[in-house]
């Protein structure tokens, strides 16, 4: 159920470079080579102090960057943050807030594409109860996706479990990035996971994979195997 977005097949894999320092990051980047074209840089690496130098280094190598910083603040501050990140060669960034924050982010963005986080893939029904949400995960995700589109966001981050519902109930122009991809048995804190084939069958444009590649005996071999799975899924 792939959409009409013009995406190179090997760009559909986004590797989550969740490591604590630049040395480890650069070792992984060298090992992965051309098996990964798209990198997600999140909060852990942001606090290393080398976020923007590594970002610039990756961009100089022809890599695409997903700055996953989940901006959440008053709308004016979110807009200012988006204008700051827009000065760098970043393809995607994330906002994790209400309509005011999403709209402010979308309006401030000139080059970067703003993705709205729907519901973290580590959350399940029990977690939503704890957070005070009086709805199930699917209802929350669909509501957030519709609101993200209305606010001008380019896309959303959502579990592959809800991807098919989004494709059925929300405009297909919305870009869909799916984390929580587990090509092998899942034993970590991610609860709402799918495999590669399921994600693309459900309508994902991109998948985000971190630990299954990073913790593999051969990260490059694992990345290449996932690229093969993506190719099989979209052709």
Parse the chain into domains and list their residue ranges.
9-234
Return the CATH number of 9-234, one of 3.40.1550.10, 3.40.50.920, 3.20.20.70, 3.40.50.300: 3.20.20.70
Give pTM, 2 decimals.
0.90
Handedness of CA 119, 162, 67, 171 (dihedral sign): negative
For the beta carbon of residue 136, count every other beta carbon within 10 angstroms.
Answer: 11
Distance between CA 29 and CA 33 in Å, rounded?
A: 6
* Continuous segment of H or E residues that includes residue 84: helix 75-85
Q: Show Cβ contacts of residue 232 under 8 Å, excluding neighbours closer than 6 positions.
A: 197
Q: What pLDDT is attached to residue 186?
A: 46
Task: Please compute the mean of the pLDDT values over residues 106-125 and round it to a whole number.
Answer: 82
User: Would strands 13-16 and 113-117 be described as parallel, antiparallel, or unpaired?
Assistant: unpaired
Question: What tokens were used for 194?
Answer: 């799918």
- The catalytically annotated residue of 63, 70, 103, 191 is 70
Q: Is 70 a catalytic residue?
A: yes
pLDDT in tens, 63-109: 999 999 999 999 999 999 999 999 999 999 999 989 999 999 999 99
pLDDT in tens, 208-230: 999 999 999 999 999 999 999 99
């Amino acid at each position: 159920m792939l959409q009409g977005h013009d995406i190179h097949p090997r760009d559909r894999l986004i590797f989550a470079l969740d490591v604590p320092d630049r040395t480890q990051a650069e070792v992984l980047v060298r090992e992965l080579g051309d098996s990964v074209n798209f990198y997600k840089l999140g909060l852990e690496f942001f606090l290393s102090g080398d976020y923007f130098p590594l970002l610039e280094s990756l961009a100089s190598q022809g890599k695409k960057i997903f700055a996953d910083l989940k901006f959440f603040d008053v709308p004016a501050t979110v807009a200012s943050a988006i204008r700051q990140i827009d000065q760098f060669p970043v393809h995607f960034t994330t906002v994790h807030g209400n309509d005011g924050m999403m709209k402010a982010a979308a309006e401030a963005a000139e080059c970067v594409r703003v993705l709205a986080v729907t519901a973290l893939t580590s959350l399940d029904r029990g977690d939503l109860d704890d957070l005070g949400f009086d709805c199930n995960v699917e209802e929350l995700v669909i509501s957030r996706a519709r609101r993200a589109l209305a606010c001008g966001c380019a896309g959303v981050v959502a579990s592959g479990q809800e991807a098919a519902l989004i494709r059925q109930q929300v405009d297909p122009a919305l870009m869909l990035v799916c984390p929580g991809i587990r090509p092998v048995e899942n034993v970590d804190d991610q609860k709402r996971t799918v495999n590669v084939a399921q994600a693309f069958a459900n309508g994902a444009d991109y998948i985000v994979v971190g630990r299954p590649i990073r913790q593999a005996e051969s990260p490059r071999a694992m990345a290449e195997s996932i690229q093969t799975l993506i190719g099989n899924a979209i052709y």
